[in-house]
Amino acid sequence: MNEDSPITFTLRDDQGNSIYETFQTIEHEPGILKLDLPSYINLELESSYEWYLMLHCGDPSGEDVTSFASGWIERVEAPAIPQGMAWDDLSLPQQSNVYANQLIWYDALTVLAEGLLETPNSLELIDAWSYLLGLPSVQLEEVSTVPLRDCCILPDTPSLFGE
């Protein structure tokens, strides 16, 4: 088993233009990765973007193996919160529910994941995470017990293949 694994992350606009691309090495550990885009990347409201993540690793026989995931994201306006409430008045599960009720899945998951990274033994957050991942529209209950990894801050300077 490799001690580390190279990843390639790519973000493209809906026209296929590259917004960001980087290649970096991460520790070879199973888990759900948290990737933060560099602060200078500003996604336009109501615009769609396609992301790609490739994990390059070798199997025990020496063969190179690449795992690939991709998806689309769209930046939208911040959700409305219940009348008479402030965002800070809401618990993390309540904040996640506000996002989920408006089908903003990335933020619904992120709120809970960041809370679990800070307080991994919080039963309230564990239950909310399992519930959210088990929703019929999400269908990710099989990964609800996979460890979360706050491992990957993408570099401010995009670099492809170490250049």
Asked whether 38 and 20 are in contact (CB, 8 A), the reply is yes
Report CA 55 to chain centroid distance, whole Å: 15
Q: How many CB atoms lie within 10 A of CB 7?
A: 21
Q: Provide the whole-model pTM.
A: 0.76
- pLDDT tens for residues 37-59? 888 899 999 999 999 988 877 65
- pLDDT tens for residues 82-92? 788 888 889 99
* Rounded CA separation 82/32 (Å): 31
* Rounded CA separation 23/162 (Å): 6
